[in-house]
Amino acid sequence: MGFYDFTLKDGRGEDFPLEQFRGKVVLVVNTATGCGFTPHYKPMEEMYERFNDKGFEILDVPCNQFAGQTPGTDDEIREFCTLRYNTQFKQMKKSDVNGENELPLYTWLKEQKGFEGFGKGAAAVAMSAMCKMRDKNYKTNPDIKWNFTKFLIDREGSVVARFEPTADMKKVAEAVEELVAK
């Protein structure tokens, strides 16, 4: 299985084959509407507007697995994102990214790029402490740790980077810019 072999359900319940992203750079993100990282929608939309005409897409996968921070329906989530952040990128059906009901896409993504840490700084320390309370082995498993974990896919469908929610969004944009220039 590869990236293009997966099909998700979009926010309206329609099949969304990832094959339609073949040849594009894609950022896959598990999102939440009520999280401290929710403002990541703004730089994500800015990246989308800046690079979409160069073959860049964002795949938004709302997820309610982290402190219940995405409680709404798919329609409510879409409305929140479009009204608050003017998002134009593809939004999927609310789904699990960990556990027995996780999307097969996420099983594959985590096999390609495991958890490598939260980096440095106050947010990284806080995330590490919170994760340690939830899972003492959090550092050694590839599970998604929180909302707004991002996977960057190149034009060949390979996962080239994983960014934890604590990653500087400028670094994410730089990585995207580098890939779309190829």
What is the set of active-site residues? 35
Assign residue 169 a region: left if phi > 0, alpha if psi is -120 to 50, beta otherwise?
Answer: alpha
- The pair of structure tokens assigned to 177 is 């810019």
At residue 158, what is the residue type? S
How, if at all, do strands 15-17 and 25-31 pair? unpaired
Please choose, from the candidates 83, 97, 107, 86, the residue with its C-alpha nearest in 3D space to the C-alpha of residue 6.
107
Cα–Cα dist 137/23, whole Å: 37
